[in-house]
Amino acid sequence: MSVKPIKIVVIGGGAAGFFGAITCAQAHPDVEITILEASHEPLTKVRISGGGRCNVTHACFEPGELVQYYPRGGKALRGAFCRFQPKDMVAWLAAQGVELKTESDGRMFPVTDDSGTIANCLLKTTKSLGIELRTKVRVSSVGQIPGELSKFAVRLKDGEVMICDRLLLASGSNPSGYQIAKTLGHQIVSPVPSLFTFNISDRQLTELAGVSVEKVKLRLQIAGKTHFEQPGAILITHWGLSGPAILKLSAWSARILHENHYQAKLIINWIPDSNPEFLRKQLLAVRSQLPQRQISTTCPLLLPRRLWEYLIARVNIASEDRWAGLSNKTLNQLIQEITQGEYQISGKGVFKEEFVTCGGVDLKEVNFKTMESKCSPGLYFAGEILDIDGVTGGFNFQSAWTTAWLAGQAMGS
């Protein structure tokens, strides 16, 4: 008597959905898998990420270190990364003929610098494994079949009902995915944006759009209390501030900023490698040795000229003022401005390359050895639908690859 193959439906045609399906088909060749994608084209985020280059993962190969890049979900991921981590994803892609390169900051991209390389690899592998991909298909509801708790009825918007033995929810931050999870017994941690830029209502600052500083130190203050600190590079934009340090700070502070309606104080140390006393000596030396030079045109610090002009203007030093006329009081104000400048965050911008949310399916309700639901047998999760998010740099893709791989290995059993 022949045994019927296990039927699996994957809701979501993104990175996690595809990789979960592929992993399952490779580990369990007899399963029947269908991917359902609501849009006309799958893998949209893969195609646009990294400025169209696709930041596949990050060159961090120690699970204990890797989890430190996840504001939420790091603890749950530690064991998962011991089973499938960046080096495993690199090896998997290499086996498909896709080579990655590592940039100076640890980000890993295909050597082609084309996200299409990754998308096409996933599509080609899916086809070769006999996985069915259906696009422009919207799911209206999912229910468990009475008397058969591990079977699901997936009802589509057009009225079609698909019966499956296993269901993988890999629907990203789409509200419909959260609703399905809730219907099947899960708690949803309220999703809020992560990885965003800061709006700063300061016309003099935003006129410096395009100016960047390689190393600053940021502190986020709300009601006079410091909540998070973050070093790194910063970029001034026409709406405020962006750059790696800002994006990382936004990820760690995503919830508290949301709770405070994105109103907070940002403290910037523009030269964190110099302590205030050393800075004082530098400025006093210029005042002593070049007293007739204009302050605006004689900057002793490794700062962009336009930024220096902006900073001195913030303490009311005119462009024609000379070092000889710099009082000790104004010098102290300038030191304060350079090392502890205060900027009022008035809202959040967007990070167009990688829209990420924090929140999603409560991790306590998921078995991280298999990614199976603890509430609904036969239901699995992968990717951004989970309450997991990483900072920018390939970490969000890696959590998608890892959770998808774990789910894929387990679903066919």
Helix axes 115-128, 15-27, angle to 10 degrees: 40
Of residues 147 and 408, the one with the higher pLDDT is 408
DSSP 191-245: EEEES--EEE--HHHHTTTT-EEEEEEEEEEETTEEEEEEEEEEEE-SSEEESHH
pLDDT at residue 150 greater than cutoff 90: no
* pLDDT, mean of residues 321-335: 96
pLDDT at residue 1 greater than cutoff 50: no
pLDDT at 223: 85
CB atoms within 10 A of CB 271: 19
User: Could you tell me which residues are beta bridge partners of residue 168?
Assistant: 10, 380
Between vectors from CA 226 to CA 223 and to CA 229, what angle results, nearest 5°?
Answer: 145
- 261/177 Cα distance (integer angstroms): 26
* pLDDT, mean of residues 78-87: 98
pLDDT at 146: 78
pLDDT at residue 149 greater than cutoff 70: no
Tens-digit pLDDT profile for residues 234-275: 999 999 999 999 999 999 999 999 999 999 999 999 999 989
pLDDT at 50: 87
pLDDT at residue 106 greater than cutoff 90: yes
Say which amino acid occupies 363: L
Residue 390's nearest CA partner among 357, 353, 351 is 357
Note the helical H segments in 101-144: 115-128
Contact 270, 311 (CB under 8 A): yes
Contact 70, 388 (CB under 8 A): yes
Tens-digit pLDDT profile for residues 210-220: 999 999 999 99
Sign for the CA dihedral angle at 237, 114, 103, 56 comes to positive
Rounded to 5 degrees, φ, ψ at 388 are -135, 135
pLDDT at residue 353 greater than cutoff 70: no
Tens-digit pLDDT profile for residues 17-39: 999 999 999 999 999 999 999 99
Q: What is the largest CA-CA distance in the chain?
A: 98
| pTM for this prediction | 0.91
**pLDDT band at 145, cuts 50/70/90?**
confident
* pLDDT, mean of residues 329-351: 94
pLDDT at 3: 72
Q: Is 79 helix (H, G, I), strand (E, B) or coil?
A: helix
CB atoms within 10 A of CB 172: 22
pLDDT at residue 364 greater than cutoff 50: yes
Contact 357, 397 (CB under 8 A): no
* pLDDT, mean of residues 317-346: 96
Beta strand extents in 81-201 (DSSP E only) = 100-102, 107-110, 132-134, 139-145, 148-156, 161-164, 166-169, 188-194, 198-200
Tell me what the pLDDT averaged over the chain comes to.
95
